[in-house]
């Protein structure tokens, strides 16, 4: 029957029926539109074009307490919500407000799933994201996570995952992240993770961890997250033996440490965390975890300003891994390691001196400077680190014996202006002159 309805051009004639005040009429018109247009993009586009969105939102608003009408209306919106034209039209209505209202009063799983499907589609549109947050969707998501956390029922786990996924989608800017943190969403996500950390199904964990990572990016969120002891709670989750979970946790901790000396100090003086990081730096069975562990160590040293943290990382035998990281195949990781070691050397060179000698850091830096394939930024950062090392008598001697001076002189005619400038400065320090 579907094809003859389409060929008879029936759909546009059904739209005026959505203006009716007769609920029975609305119900049948809504069902007919939904069924005829299901999985037919051309017809869906046509519906939006002739103005179906406004009456659908009106039905949702005027008959919010009528479960049959709301169900039919939500199914129709679900069919249309993926279209950019539909999102554009919906952004000019009060649909966000009405969907949040329905999410709050939804009790059965089927209704929740339909609403989440619509919300997830709408959250791809920036204007609708803002409207959803303004309508308080995050408060309702927070309530749902609180209500369902700890449940082992499969349908509840699906809803929890959908709520976590939606939180990830909603984190479009610092303002939204800050609001989510203020609402305590981050602690609910952590409660969720703690209950699922040993579970074999990592889908909920992955969604919650992605949300956590996004929440940890804005500076305003970092401060509050640290004050609430979230970093310590994340660390307790590192007992997980699942590489995807380990990777996301490490990434979140790195986001927290980024630009935050307080966070770097907290993380850098936790023996359990440092020992675990060093283990992961040594293991090559999961490249992502191995790389992220190295990056977190580098980030802690880079953003830290405490001698105690430098000593703690040295005692945990983490410094040798950062020296290995300077020869990584990824220039970004090389630079992170070089910058971290330069800052650590400026803070407490005496503690690191022996490790630098054992790991042949001077010789590694020389190779980087000699290699034509080394990027200009890596050469520049290698020379900055060399300048710090020249403050040690023993390391200065190694630099002189390795004839790095000749390489530096050659770099004075390098094509990159920053490399030339740093080569001149490093030569002046090496000669005992005051850099200009």
The predicted-structure confidence for 289-348, as pLDDT tens digits, reads as follows 999 999 999 999 999 989 999 999 999 999 999 999 999 999 999 999 999 999 999 999
Is the predicted pLDDT of residue 191 greater than 80, yes or no?
Answer: no
Angle at 302 between CA 193 and CA 319, to 5 degrees: 90
For tokens 């440490």, the residue is 257
pLDDT of residue 355: 94
pLDDT of residue 233: 77
Share of the chain above pLDDT 90, in %: 50
Structure tokens at 397: 């001697």
| Res. 85 pLDDT band, cuts 50 70 90 | very high
What pLDDT, in 10s, does the model give residues 3-61? 666 566 667 777 888 888 999 999 998 888 888 777 888 888 888 888 899 999 999 99
Is the predicted pLDDT of residue 397 greater than 90, yes or no?
Answer: yes
| Of residues 142, 300, 114, 296, the one with CA closest to residue 215 | 142
**Is the pTM here over 0.85, yes or no?**
no
Which whole-number Å values give the CA distances from 369 to 94, 270, 374, in the listed order? 61, 35, 7
CA–CA separation, 302 and 325 (whole Å): 14
CA–CA separation, 103 and 252 (whole Å): 29
| Res. 231 pLDDT band, cuts 50 70 90 | confident
pLDDT of residue 13: 79
pLDDT of residue 201: 59
pLDDT of residue 344: 95
pLDDT of residue 168: 77
**Any idea which of 17-21, 109-113, 223-227, 313-317 has the lowest mean pLDDT?**
223-227
| Res. 435 pLDDT band, cuts 50 70 90 | confident
Structure tokens at 179: 């609001």
**Any idea which of 172-176, 180-184, 239-243, 245-249 has the lowest mean pLDDT?**
172-176
Is the predicted pLDDT of residue 68 greater than 60, yes or no?
Answer: yes
pLDDT of residue 8: 62
pLDDT of residue 411: 95
Rounded to an integer, the average pLDDT of 152-160 is 83
pLDDT of residue 176: 67
pLDDT of residue 7: 61
CA–CA separation, 215 and 248 (whole Å): 13
Is the predicted pLDDT of residue 198 greater than 70, yes or no?
Answer: no
Rounded to an integer, the average pLDDT of 335-363 is 95
| Res. 225 pLDDT band, cuts 50 70 90 | confident
| Of residues 229, 277, 276, 280, the one with CA closest to residue 256 | 229
Is the predicted pLDDT of residue 2 greater than 60, yes or no?
Answer: no
Residue with the bigger pLDDT between 209 and 171: it is 209
């Amino acid at each position: 029957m579907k094809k003859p309805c389409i060929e008879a051009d029936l759909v546009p004639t059904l739209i005026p029926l959505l203006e009716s005040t007769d609920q029975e009429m609305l119900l049948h018109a809504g069902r007919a539109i939904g069924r005829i247009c299901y999985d037919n993009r051309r017809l869906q586009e046509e519906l939006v074009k002739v103005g179906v969105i406004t009456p659908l939102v009106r039905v949702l608003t005027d008959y919010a307490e009528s479960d049959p009408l709301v169900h039919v209306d939500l199914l129709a919106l679900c069919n249309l919500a993926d279209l950019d034209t539909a999102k554009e039209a919906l952004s000019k209505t009060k649909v966000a407000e009405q969907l949040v209202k329905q999410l709050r009063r939804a009790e059965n799983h089927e209704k929740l799933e339909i609403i989440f499907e619509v919300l997830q589609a709408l959250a791809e549109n920036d204007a609708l994201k803002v409207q959803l947050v303004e309508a308080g969707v995050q408060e309702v998501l927070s309530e749902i996570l609180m209500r369902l956390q700890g449940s082992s029922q499969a349908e509840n786990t699906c809803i929890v995952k959908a709520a976590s996924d939606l939180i990830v989608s909603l984190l479009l800017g610092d303002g939204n992240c800050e609001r989510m943190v203020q609402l305590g969403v981050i602690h609910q996500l952590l409660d969720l993770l703690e209950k699922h950390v040993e579970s074999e199904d990592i889908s909920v964990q992955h969604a919650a961890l992605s949300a956590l990572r996004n929440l940890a990016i804005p500076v305003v969120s970092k401060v509050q997250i640290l004050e609430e002891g979230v970093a310590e709670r994340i660390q307790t989750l590192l007992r997980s033996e699942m590489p995807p979970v380990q990777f996301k946790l490490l990434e979140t901790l790195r986001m927290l440490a980024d630009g935050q000396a307080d966070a770097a100090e907290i993380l850098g003086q936790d023996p359990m965390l440092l020992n675990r990081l060093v283990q992961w730096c040594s293991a090559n069975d999961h490249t992502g975890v191995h790389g992220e562990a190295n990056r977190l160590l580098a980030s802690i040293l880079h953003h830290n300003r405490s001698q105690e943290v430098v000593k703690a990382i040295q005692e945990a035998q983490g410094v040798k891994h950062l020296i290995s990281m300077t020869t990584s195949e990824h220039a970004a990781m090389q630079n992170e390691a070089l910058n971290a070691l330069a800052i650590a050397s400026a803070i407490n060179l005496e503690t690191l001196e022996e490790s630098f000698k054992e790991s042949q850091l001077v010789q590694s830096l020389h190779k980087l400077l000699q290699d034509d394939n080394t990027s200009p930024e890596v050469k520049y950062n290698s020379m900055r680190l060399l300048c710090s090392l020249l403050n040690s008598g023993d390391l200065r001697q190694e630099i002189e014996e390795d004839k790095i001076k000749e390489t530096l002189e050659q770099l004075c005619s390098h094509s990159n202006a920053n490399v030339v400038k740093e080569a001149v400065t490093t030569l002046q320090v090496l000669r005992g002159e005051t850099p200009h």
